[in-house]
Amino acid sequence: MLIFLIKRSRWLLLAASIASVVSGVCGVLLVTQINAALTADEATRARLPWNFAAVVLGALICGVWSKILFEQLRLRAMSELRRFVSDRVMDAPIRRLEQVGAAKVQSALADHVTDVARFFVTVPAILTNGVIVIGCLIYLAVLSMQVFTAAVGVIVMGSAGYLLAQRRAARHLVAASREQDLLFGYFRSLTDGAKELRQNRRKRRLFGSDVLATSIEQVRRHRMRGMAIFETASGWGNFLIYAFIGLVLFVLVGDVPDRARVMTGFALVFVYMVTPLQSLLNWLPEANLARVSSARIEEVTQRMASPETPADEASRAAFASIELKGLKHRYYHEQSGDFFELGPIDLRFFPGEVVFLVGGNGSGKTTLAKLMVGLYPQEAGELLLDGERVGDASRDRYRQLFSAVFSDFHLFDQLLETGRPEIDAEGNRLIEKLHLQHKVEVRNGAFTTRELSQGQRKRLALVVACLEDRPFLVFDEWAADQDPVFKRFFYHEVLSELRAMGKAVLVISHDDRYFHMGDRIVRLESGKIVSVDVSHRPGGDDTGGESPAPGGNADAERIWTRVLGQALRKNAGAEHPA
């Protein structure tokens, strides 16, 4: 991650580093100027103020400039890392993303990215203080080689102690980082499970005390132990520094030539050098925290690496047939506690056809749908588009044929897929026919709210799917959260109009009273196709005793059919057979 950031901002990093180094050099020169002023004669002292002013001005300007540049670098690093992780998430295969989990992704985007980016803020201080310490040691060597040798010995002993401490502290920081990934999942449960927690006081208490509080405490304890080890090592370094000062004052500096200048320079150097040296020692934990966070980001992003070739924007097209030939997929089934095998599946789909996929819970219907739309890669068999095999190089382009509303769908604020100037008017016409105009509208290509019931949100998802105007639509239990009026409206009117527009439609459903609205009924049990029935739709309009349409009268059906047809035909053109 650090190499990635350096490559992305090499010139900014170089400019900021040079400014920091110059600031450190000016700091060392400041000590030499002060020592010279204390020991210089009257003739020499006259020209020292100008030198002193130049050094102070250089240190001030370069110090401020380096901090500004590194703050800019920190913000750029944070945005680059978040963009990097976000791109990997968007390109990741769904199965790998499910295995990584949302909590680890959120932890990487929020906390780990911040730790890595924050490290760049410390870089100017590290460079400046490093130059000061090195420059002061060189000045000590000029004053007394004996003192310089002793100083190097102290630094070696202090570094050895820090290396030992670093190994132990890093283990605690890694443990805290892993626990934090779990903690982000618990934070998500606070909002996703708010109803369940509010409903059950005992569950709420146990989640708060045994789960959430325990995880928070584990993160705090591991980080505290890691930082305590570093603080102990810092104390060890301070002890060596002050012991060295005493050693030089009372042992090493005896009857050396020019003793007054050496003692004065030594005192100034150490008074000036102690703070930068302590700062360097104190910044080591930040560097280690950044290293740990960087490793976590790399681990998450590498697990989400995709072998697929991205599709271009103009890759959507009509199709003549989609065939699943001997398709197999295997995954862990939680209900049975064993691995579940789907397939072999042999199916074909054509434009202008509505297919119902039915079966019991856990029979593999949703998994089959995700295989068919290209979200999951098959483990065996072939997926054929117009007779050509769909592989890693073409799977993303193949996916652009589909609009799907799965049972766990997500509704975005904006209509990102469409981007047409008339999108507001088209969307609001469909929203009105679905009786949602009093709740939500499309304004500037975005929904004004998503605070709706699950059934209402599914109706908005249906609007989005229609506006995307893709040749194949998949509905996973769409009508499950609808009242009888909208349920019948979907099966009788929406599906009929989509069929008339030449769309291929796959409907996963348990509503057996509407199965006759499909052209074929595929029954799936225990991952195997047990039958494929051809449906015979009645010529009349069997209302089944329900209200004929959401508007409460037959005119609403005709209005919906006309509006939906206009919206779908807007972009259909000649590529979609009527």
Q: How many residues does the chain have?
A: 578
Q: What are the helix and strand counts (H, E) for the chain?
A: 19, 12
Domains belonging to the chain, first-starting first, are 2-303 (1.20.1560.10), 349-376+401-573 (3.40.50.300)
Cβ proximity of 407 and 322 under 8 Å: no
Cβ proximity of 140 and 151 under 8 Å: yes
Tokens matching residue 570? 């807007």
Residue 315 has what pLDDT?
Answer: 53
Q: How far apart are CA 493 and CA 489, in angstroms?
A: 5
What are residue 461's phi and psi, to 5 degrees? -60, -35
Cβ proximity of 172 and 228 under 8 Å: no
Q: Give 430's contacts (C-beta < 8 A, 6+ positions apart).
A: 463, 466, 467, 563, 564, 567
Q: How far apart are CA 113 and CA 122, in angstroms?
A: 15
Q: Give 48's contacts (C-beta < 8 A, 6+ positions apart).
A: 33, 36, 37, 40
Cβ proximity of 6 and 13 under 8 Å: yes
381 φψ region: left (φ > 0), alpha (ψ -120 to 50), beta (else): left
Q: How far apart are CA 301 and CA 287, in angstroms?
A: 21
412 φψ region: left (φ > 0), alpha (ψ -120 to 50), beta (else): beta
**Cis before 344? omega within 30:** yes
Residue carrying the six token digits 């920081």: 173
> What is the full DSSP assignment across 34-87?
HHHHHH--HHHHTTHHHHHHHHHHHHHHHHHHHHHHHHHHHHHHHHHHHHHHHH
Cβ proximity of 24 and 16 under 8 Å: no
Q: Is 104 strand, coil or helix?
A: helix
Q: How far apart are CA 433 and CA 343, in angstroms?
A: 40
The enclosing H or E element of 11 equals helix 10-39
Cβ proximity of 349 and 326 under 8 Å: no
> What is the full DSSP assignment across 223-288?
HHHHHHHHHHHHHHHHHHHHHHHHHIIIII-SS-TTHHHHHHHHHHHHHHHHHHHHHHHHHHHHHH
Residue 227 has what pLDDT?
Answer: 81
Residue 167 has what pLDDT?
Answer: 74
Nearest to 480, CA basis, from 456, 459, 510, 457: 510
Q: How far apart are CA 566 and CA 485, in angstroms?
A: 23
Question: Between the CA atoms of 566, 568, 569 and 570, what dihedral angle is there, to the nearest 10 degrees?
Answer: 80
Q: How far apart are CA 366 and CA 542, in angstroms?
A: 29
Q: Give 554's contacts (C-beta < 8 A, 6+ positions apart).
A: 548
Which whole-number Å values give the CA distances from 199 to 202, 206, 210, 300, 451, in the listed order? 9, 13, 18, 35, 21
Q: Is 448 strand, coil or helix?
A: coil
Q: What is the mean pLDDT of each run of 10 residues along the chain (578 residues)?
A: 73 81 81 74 72 83 80 80 84 81 79 78 74 81 78 75 76 83 81 74 82 88 85 75 72 63 71 73 72 83 81 71 91 65 91 93 90 89 92 88 88 70 84 86 83 86 87 92 86 90 93 90 92 67 41 45 52 40
Q: Give 567's contacts (C-beta < 8 A, 6+ positions apart).
A: 426, 429, 430, 466, 467, 469
Residue 553 has what pLDDT?
Answer: 41
Cβ proximity of 9 and 77 under 8 Å: yes
Nearest to 302, CA basis, from 483, 148, 111, 89: 89
Cβ proximity of 172 and 225 under 8 Å: yes
Q: Give 513's contacts (C-beta < 8 A, 6+ positions apart).
A: 544
Residue 548 has what pLDDT?
Answer: 40
Query: Pairing mode, if any, of strands 354-358 and 520-525?
Result: parallel
Query: Within 10 A of 457 (CB to CB), how many other CB atoms are there?
Result: 20
Q: Give 266's contacts (C-beta < 8 A, 6+ positions apart).
A: 140, 143, 144, 147, 248, 253
Q: Give 516's contacts (C-beta < 8 A, 6+ positions apart).
A: 535, 536, 537, 538
